[in-house]
């Protein structure tokens, strides 16, 4: 059985979206992964089919109802009991490559996409749901966040990346940003590709790349550098 994604959403039309194109789209067409959507509104019980209500305690916007979401989640858990159930929310655990790798190595994933001001918190107490955020900004809904997460997972599935080096030297492997890349022409607008990359000396090239990885990570992502610590050859405090 292939890696299976199930999306619980009020907007199933948003899928596969960009996941139907390019690398992920080809893999989907080839059956290397599958994508199912579940319409949350199908689990509404009143005659207006309402999925949300005003926030307890007052305030702006609407909150997704625990009873409706609970029924949708139970449906997903029954269909794919072995897949982790995630909920996309800016209140979640920050998504990072190590977790993406874990998810890609498993049977698949079920993803609950929130809309409005949020989801009734009791849902997270009553069901085994892992809240996940893709960054410190607020999207209009969890659907685009789910697409980001799925894209990151699907490219790691067996046979999806084809001839490309299967991720061993890319950003975040080893806790650093990837080294910079260049290709022909050798001179563009008076700028040359670094001489070392054209030297054919593989040990020298590897050393240059490692040094640039560390240097760029230190400049752009000092937060990663602190975690990287001694592996960079310097102590975390020396990195600053």
CA atoms of 95 and 72, how far apart (whole Å): 24
Work out how close the CB of 153 gets to ligand ADE at its nearest, in angstroms, rounded to a whole number: 15
Nearer to ligand ADE, 78 or 138 (CB): 138
Per the structure block, which two tokens stand in for 111? 């993803």
> By CB under 6 A, what part of segment 136-175 binds ligand ADE?
137-139, 142, 145
Q: Tell the burial category of 15 from Cβ atoms under 10 Å away from its Cβ (0-12, 13-18, 19+).
A: buried
Would you count residue 9 as binding ligand ADE (CB under 6 A)?
no
Residue partners of 56: CB distance under 8 A and separation at least 6: 63
Question: Applying CB under 6 A, which of residues 20, 61, 81, 135 lies at the interface with ligand ADE?
Answer: 135
Give strand pairing partners of 112: 8, 87
Nearer to ligand ADE, 70 or 141 (CB): 141
Work out how close the CB of 112 gets to ligand ADE at its nearest, in angstroms, rounded to a whole number: 10
Work out how close the CB of 119 gets to ligand ADE at its nearest, in angstroms, rounded to a whole number: 10
Question: Applying CB under 6 A, which of residues 9, 37, 80, 89 lies at the interface with ligand ADE?
Answer: 89
3-class secondary structure, 229: helix
Nearer to ligand ADE, 76 or 197 (CB): 76
Residue 149 falls in which region: left (phi positive, over 0), alpha (psi -120 to 50) or beta? alpha
Contact residues: ligand ADE, CB under 6 A: 88-90, 114, 133-135, 137-139, 142, 145
């Amino acid at each position: 059985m292939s890696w299976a994604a199930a999306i619980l959403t009020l907007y199933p039309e948003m899928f596969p979206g960009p996941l139907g194109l390019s690398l992920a789209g080809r893999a989907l067409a080839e059956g290397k992964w599958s994508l199912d959507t579940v319409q949350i509104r199908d689990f509404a019980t009143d005659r207006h089919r309402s999925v949300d209500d005003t926030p307890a305690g007052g305030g702006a916007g609407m909150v997704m109802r625990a009873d409706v979401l609970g029924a949708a989640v139970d449906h997903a858990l029954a269909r794919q009991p072995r897949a982790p159930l995630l909920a996309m929310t800016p209140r979640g655990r920050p998504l990072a490559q190590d977790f993406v790798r874990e998810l890609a190595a498993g049977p698949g994933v079920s993803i609950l996409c929130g809309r409005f001001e949020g989801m009734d918190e009791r849902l997270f107490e009553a069901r085994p749901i892992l809240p996940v955020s893709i960054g410190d900004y607020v999207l209009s809904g969890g659907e685009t966040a789910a697409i980001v997460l799925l894209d990151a997972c699907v490219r790691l599935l067996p046979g999806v990346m084809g001839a490309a080096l299967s991720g061993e030297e890319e950003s975040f492997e080893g806790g650093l940003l990837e080294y910079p890349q260049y290709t022909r022409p050798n001179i563009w607008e008076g700028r040359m590709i670094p001489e070392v990359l054209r030297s054919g000396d593989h040990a020298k090239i590897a050393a240059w790349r490692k040094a640039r990885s560390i240097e760029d990570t230190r400049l752009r992502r000092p937060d990663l550098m602190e975690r990287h610590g001694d592996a960079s050859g310097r102590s975390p405090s020396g990195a600053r």
